[in-house]
Homo-oligomer: A and B are copies of this chain.
Amino acid sequence: MVKRKPCLVENCSTCGLRAKVVLCDIAGSDLAEFEKIKRTLEYAPHQTVFYEGHLCLGLYVLCSGKVKLTRSSTRGQRQIVRILGPGELIEKHVFGERALHEVTCETLEPSQVCVIDKERYLAVIRGNPQLAIKLIQLLSNEVGVNMDHLDQFTFKTARERLAGLLLELGDRFGKKHDDHVRVGLTLKREEVAEMAGITVETAIRLLGVFRDEGVLTLDGRTITLLNSDRLSRIAQR
């Protein structure tokens, strides 16, 4: 029997993240409509929320937990496009008609996902031009993020890419202490490799080199960054 837990985010009107999430940052009758057109789903770790190539059933917002977005080649190679945390819109490209998922979405931790009916959400936008403009700006920024991501693969060496990835994970999911940053994600070596776009062997070797150089410590799957300045120089940021 599936164990039923209470909702992690009980409802939108009391959600602390709402003001930070463009899609949900609405009030009054818009919020009442929003509550009607969303469905909340809960996932255990390592479950699949949706698959690359499938038709989008709506707009997906991550209310709590962490998910990874992966993309596969026809030969079965896999790449982790991004890891998302609470309050992020899972796929930002799905406003088009009959959009297909660009990535596969899997949970890394217990997660709560909200699926919003796209057509009815577009109707909310139609009546709320300020929301429309914020969404245009959000999507507009996303194009820049993707361009930076592309640079990693066109211009950088494996060593630079791994250093850049570790810094990004530290920035987004790190627990900062006086002189070190503990990456608050327990990723398999394989996942680190799939994020940096390098082989597992190279990832293991380079993590060893970084450890020997005193840049980080490795404790099982926990990575602690000791020298972000040096990592930043290696990454050629």
Q: Tell me the minimal C-beta distance from A82 to chain B in angstroms.
A: 11
Q: Tell me the minimal C-beta distance from A53 to chain B in angstroms.
A: 12
Q: Tell me the minimal C-beta distance from A113 to chain B in angstroms.
A: 19
Report if A141-B93 is in contact (Cβ < 8 Å); known contacts: A127-B129, A153-B150, A197-B154: yes
Task: Determine the distance from Cα of A73 to Cα of B237 in the docked complex, in whole angstroms.
Answer: 10
Determine the main DSSP class of A at the interface with B.
helix
Contacts of A147 in B (CB 8 A): 71, 81, 93, 102-103, 146
Task: Determine the distance from Cα of A90 to Cα of B74 in the docked complex, in whole angstroms.
Answer: 31
Contacts of A144 in B (CB 8 A): 93, 96, 99, 102
A142 at the interface (CB under 8 A from B): yes
Contacts of A125 in B (CB 8 A): 129, 132-133, 136
A14 at the interface (CB under 8 A from B): no
A11 at the interface (CB under 8 A from B): no
Q: Which residue of chain B has the shortest Cβ distance to A128 in the bound complex?
A: B129
Task: Determine the distance from Cα of A102 to Cα of B102 in the docked complex, in whole angstroms.
Answer: 23
A131-146, CB under 8 A of B: which get 1 and which 0?
Answer: 0110111011111101
**Partner pick for A79 among B135, B143, B146, B154, CB 8 A cutoff:** B154
A-B contact pairs, 25 of them (CB 8 A): A79-B155, A81-B147, A92-B140, A93-B142, A93-B143, A93-B144, A94-B140, A95-B137, A95-B140, A96-B140, A102-B143, A102-B144, A102-B147, A103-B147, A122-B133, A125-B136, A126-B129, A126-B132, A136-B136, A136-B139, A139-B140, A139-B142, A139-B143, A142-B143, A149-B150
